[in-house]
Each structure stands twice: as structure tokens, then as C-alpha cells.
Amino acid sequence: MSRKDVEQAAARSPGQDRVGRVGLVGAGVVVAVEAFWLVLGLPAGALVSDLGALTAAGWAAVACVAAARRHPVTLRRFWLLLAVTMALSLAGRALWTSQRLLGERLPHTLPIGLIFAASLLTGTAALFCWTTAPRTTVGRARTLLDGVIVGLALIPIGWLLIFRNVSLADLDEPLRTAGLLYPMFDLMQLTILVAVVGPGRPVWRPMALLGVSLTVRAVADTVYVSLVAAGTYQPGTPVDVLWPLSYLLIVVATRMSPPRDHGAAEEVGEVGEAPLPQWWRVVLPYLPVGGAIVATMLARDASGHTPMPIFLAMMALLATLALRQGLAANENLRLVVQLRKLAYVDQLTGLPNRLAFTRRLRGALRGTNRVAVLLLDLDGFKQVNDRFGHTTGDTLLSGLSRRMRRAVGDDGMIARIGGDEFAVLVTDGRPLAPERLAERLLAALQPSPGEELVGVHPSASIGIAEYGPQHISHTDLLRDADIAMYAAKAAGKSAYRRCTQGLRESAVSRAELIADLRRAVDEEQLHLEFQPIVDLATGAVRSAEALVRWRHPRLGVLSPARFLPLAEETGLILPIDRWVIHEACRAAATWQDRVPSATVAVNIAASHLRRPDLIATVTEATAGAGLAPRALTLELTESALIEGSDAVLDRLGQLRELGIRIAIDDFGTGYSSLSYLHRIPATELKIDRSFVARIPEDARAYATVEMVTRLAGAFDLGVVAEGVETERQHDAVAAIGCVQGQGYRYGRPTALAELRAVLAKADPPGVSGVAESGLTLT
């Protein structure tokens, strides 16, 4: 329900509210007076009974019309139909009273029967206009049949309990006989009400009162039928007060306002996931059937014959049950279709999902000689979700899937098998070469004019695998496509690769290396080497960068470039980083007594930077080694810092407050920006070796290094020139004004003992002395 509807529902004038209260009190007084009159057995009880019913029914009709005007549109039809029902009840009761006053003791006439039938239809229609009632024709028919089942099942039970001793000759008047079915119709409507009030949700109080009203009317009609069947009913007895009481309950229901969340519940019921009904709501229509069967067996006469009314009622009950089960079977088939769609279709893109693709692939491998699989992974899609949110990511993913579907067309089956992964199946019936299809897919993913300005359009890497003798199952074929896809990513992305024997062997080696890497830390296969960072003016070693090496038991010593990328992909970089930090701090602590100013630098992966336990790792490492925090420098790449969130920047700020130094490594190769230099609490910049290597020959490289040095000075940052290997490079960076340098010119990475030997010299001999100490290769 919208806010406007709620306001309209709540907005009633004082005059209207006063009239409603007066009417409710007046109807209540009338019913109370009637009850008092009939219980005491005062004169003219029948007339008082009729007048009380007429007054209560009339005011109920007026109150329902007023409720329709006050309540929102979603409930207006419900109250209007209920008003018509009350008006018909008023008309039927007025006709009944007039004919009784004219001398008819129990006037079961055709007009009264037609009015009653009309009120039954409008009352049932009102229930189906409730906001939680079934919206489909099948759902409404199912609910109506549930009510009919209950009503028909009560005929044999009623016969056994009430009419067993009634002669069939006494039921020769059709209208009078139909009047004896009033309780059955009441319980039919009560069953429908229970079914539509909203399974799984709290019952709204007006509907609860309506249910009580139907129950009271059912009791009144049952008592009336029992007395009529026994020939003892007299108008003006206390049972007559039950009918106006049922009308009074409806008047009370109209005084209640709709809940504020009623419209929301309706909306969820229509377009969202419907709540599951309680078990008793499901079995309710079938509970009386067992009683009807027992009643039918007990109602047989001495000759074993079943009375004709019971026989006809049971035949109608069986037909209704058959129709109801037919609808249930049809609904089950529809649900099976929906479940199959949910099981085999991706809900976001509408493409087949992984399960559907796997089934088709397995079937294709059994029935054809040529099967190829294209595995496609969107490059950079995670950054889209991280930067713009999952809503933007889902929109982009839906649009790209439509492009890929059009690109594949009838030449293959495309499916979404993961978050940003898609697969295409090509079989004998589609003669297009997989490479041609891959080119078509890459072309389809190219941004249209203007889309590249959005900055959220990823490329794709595609791996191709074709069924061959090396494939035992569909999983082998998918594995090969995955191998080729990662080869395409390694080739620069936005490309495709076909799986070859060489790629398979490389993937096996890669998997074995990852498995060995998991054991490397625990089995102490890692060790550190240290490369000195020197003062360009004096040659004194000011710091050392800790570089991890892996002593592989079979492959020998492996450089970081060989295994650190694998560690970052698998998450093993975190335990490796922790080990390096602790070992580097312990190593630096061994030279603090001789050279207190010398620091140690450690590279930190981007994934570790995003973890909140980084601060705890650093503080534990420095405290455990007895190292002052100022003696530790954390080196971070530009890309890791640029992708950092505010939480990352806060974490870096906390590290600086502890005294930890922050260096921006490989400066100039990432997304260099003056704005982030203002935000990141860095202490120094390390100029990337690619610029230093070109300084002697490239004026632009020289200008770049000079500009970075001046920029660092403006920000009060230290500068380290990386990759200094020749005398000319040394002279150039020194002339520019770089304070420190690092590279083979000053020393290769070496063991801790050799570095300590250099640091132990009280009077550093200068640059040449450092080279002569054995820290450089000759």
C-alpha cells in the first residue's frame, strides 16, 4: 500500500467517525435487546427477532459501503461486494418476515431461495477479492473446489447426525430441502476464507472477525436445521439472535483500519516468493472426506442400501475430488516446468547454466565425433563490482550476455557457468571453426562508440579445447579449456588460445609447484637474501631490501618471479609475507647494535595490505625481534595503493603513527597521481628501474627521474633509484639529486652474513669499497 493510500485510509472526518461509532453502538444495543427479549421469552419474540436481524443486516450493509470509501483501492471491491451480500441478506430477511407475517410459518419460497443464492455468490466473490486470494483462474478454481469438497462431505455427516430419522416423504418440497443445506454453504465459505487469508502471514483482524461471523452463522444454521428436521423449531427463540450477531461482527470489522504493510504484503505475494502454507491448511479440505465415508457406511439401512441423497452427495464428492486432483496434477506439472527452468537456466542472463551445459556436453560426447568447448572469462569484471557495485555489474553482465548470445547464434550453445565465466559448446552439426567463433565473440565484446568512456567495459580471455584421445570425460575437456583460457590471460587478455600439449604439461607443472609451495613455509624451504641500498654520496649502506628465495628440493633455488605470482593467485602470499616480515625483523635486529641507523625493507602484497591483521603482524614481528618500528620499511606498489579503500589508508596511517616507514615501490609504472601522494602517508619513493636504465641515452627518462626527484623533495619524501647497474647510471642519478640507490652497481642480493660484514666496518670505504667487499658480481 502506498503512503497516499494509507493517508486516505486514515483520513476520515470527525462527522463520519461519529456516525460510524453511533451506528456500531446502535446495532450492538439492538442485538443486546433482542438477546435479552428472546432469552426471557417475552411476547412477540418472532417479530423482535425479525426486526433485530433486519436492523443489524441493514447497518452492516451501510458500514461496508463506508469502509469501501475509507479503505484503499486494493480493498474497495472486497467491501463493496460484502455490502451487496449484506443488502441481499437484508432483502431476503425482509421478504421472509413479510411472508411469515402473512401466515407462512417457515416461508421457504423461490424468491427467498434466489436471494440467498445471490448472497452466497457475492459473499464468495468478496473473499476472492481479498488481497491475498489466488490471482490465477486455476488457483481460484482450486480454492472453490476445496470449499465444495467440505460442503459435500458434510451432507453424509449431517444425514447421519440430523436427518437419519427424517422420512424422505418429509423432503418432498425442493425449496424446503435446499434450505436444509444452509450449514453446508456456510462451511464452504468458511473453508474458502481460511484458504485466502494469506498462508504463512498473520491474519488481519477484520478477516478474523469475518471468520467468526461465518462460524456464528454456521452454528445458527446448524441449530435451525436440526430443529426444523425434528419439527421443534419455533420463531422467536434464543437461537434467532445468532444471525444478527453475525451481522454485528461484520459491522465491528468495518471499523478497523488496514495495516500499513498490507499493500507491501500483497506486492510480495504477487511478484515475490510466496510463503509456504501450514500443513493443516493443505489437509483441511480433505479432513471431512474421511468422516463422509464413515457416515455413508453407517447410514445404510437394514437391507444394506444407501439413501439416495447420500449416494448422490458421494457421487458429487467423488467428481469434485477428481476435478480437484486434476487441477493439482496440472499445477504440479507447471511447477515441474518452473523447477526445471530454475535448475537449468541462469536467472540473471537467461542463458543455460553450468548444470545444463554439463548435461549437453556429456550428451554430445556420447553422440558425435567432434566436440569443442570455448571457455570465456571476462577480464577485470571484479573491479567493476568493487568500484560501481553489484547492481551495475549485473546490468553490464546482462548486456554482455545478450551480445555473446547474438554472436554465437546457431553455431553453438552458450551458457553462463560462473560469476563472470561463460562456455560455448560446438558440435558436428555446427561446422564453424572454434577459432572463428572466438574471434566473433571478442569482436562482439568490443565497446560501442561512447561505451569506452564509461570505463566499465571488460574484455575477455577465451580458451579453446577440442575433444581428442587425451580426454577421458567431459571434466578433462573443461580442464583443457580452462588451461587455454589462463594462457590467453597470460598473453595479455582480450585474446584466445587453443590448448596444446605444451600448455597441458605447463599446467601440470604449475599445479605441482603450487602443491610444493603449500609445504615450503612449514618445511623451512624459504630463505632471505638482502640487497643493499646505499647513500650515493658516501657509498655507505643505509638500508637493505629483504628478498625471499625458495630452495626447492628438486628444482633448486627459485627466484621470486617464479613462485610469488602463484602465491598471490592461491592466497599463499599471506603466510609467506608474514614469514618474511618476521625473518626480516630478526635479521635487522642483528645489526642494530653496530649500525643503528640502517633499516630493512620488506615488500607487501596488495592482498595483505587489505587485511585488518596487517598491523598486528607488523607489531608482533618488531616487538618479537626487539626492533624499533622506525627500522622497518614496508614497500607497496602503486597499483596496490590506488586500489586501496579508505580503510587501507587508515591502516597505513596507523602504521606511520607506530613509526613504520612506507615506501612506494616501482614509482612511475602505475597510475601515478599527485592526489594520492597527498593521501598516502609515504616516507619515500623508489623510482622504477625502467626509467633508470634509459637515463644515459633517453632525455625523456632523464627528465622523468629529475621530475620525480623534485616532486619527492616538495613532498619531503626520500628517493631511491632502483636498478642502478652501470657507472653512467650512477653518475646520472647522483647528478639529478637522488639520495640513495639500489642495484647491481652497489651489490647483488646476498646472505645476511655478508651484509653484516659490510655493515660492521666502522668507516665505510665509499662506493668502490662496497663493490670490493664482495657484494657485486665481477
Count of residues in the chain? 778
- Burial of residue 448, with CB atoms counted within 10 A of its CB: 0-12 exposed, 13-18 middle, 19 or more buried: exposed
CB 632 within 8 A of CB 599: yes
Please provide the distance, in angstroms rounded to a whole number, between the alpha carbons at the two ends of the chain.
84
pLDDT tens profile 131-178:
888 888 888 888 889 888 888 888 888 777 776 655 544 454 554 555
Rounded Cα distance, 578 and 585, in Å? 11
Quote the pLDDT of residue 271.
Answer: 39
Can you read off the three cell numbers belonging to residue 533? 641500498
Mapped onto helix, strand or coil, the DSSP state of residue 258 is: coil
For residue 272, what pLDDT is reported?
Answer: 42
Q: Give the separation between CA 247 and CA 213, rounded to whole angstroms.
A: 7
Identify whether the C-beta of residue 558 lies closer than 8 Å to the C-beta of residue 527.
Answer: no
- Return the pLDDT at 490: 83
pLDDT per position as a tens digit, 499-543: 989 998 888 888 889 899 988 888 889 999 999 999 998 888 989
What CA–CA distance (Å, rounded) separates 758 from 144?
Answer: 96
> Looking up cell 657509498, which residue turns up?
539
Buried b (16+ CB within 10 A) or exposed e, 592-625: beebeebbbbbbbbbebbeeeebeebbeebbeeb
Q: Which residues of the chain have pLDDT under 70?
A: 1-20, 163-180, 198-203, 258-281, 302, 368, 386, 429-430, 448-457, 638-645, 669-675, 761-778
Q: How far is CA 44 from CA 51, 101, 102, 434, in A?
A: 11, 12, 15, 97
**Dist. CA 515–CA 150, nearest whole Å:** 68
- pLDDT at site 765: 41
H/E stretch holding 485 reads helix 474-490
Burial (CB count <10 Å: 0-12, 13-18, 19+), residue 733: buried
Q: Encode pLDDT of 60-105 as tens digits.
A: 999 999 999 888 888 899 999 999 999 999 999 999 899 888 877 7
- For position 495, what pLDDT does the model report? 92
d(CA 730, CA 741): 8
C-alpha span between 157 and 313 (Å, rounded): 11
CA distance 641 to 434: 40
The mean predicted confidence, pLDDT, of the chain is 83
Candidates 445, 386, 185; CA nearest to 437 is 445
pLDDT value of residue 230: 76
The answer to whether 404 touches 376, Cβ cutoff 8 Å, is: yes
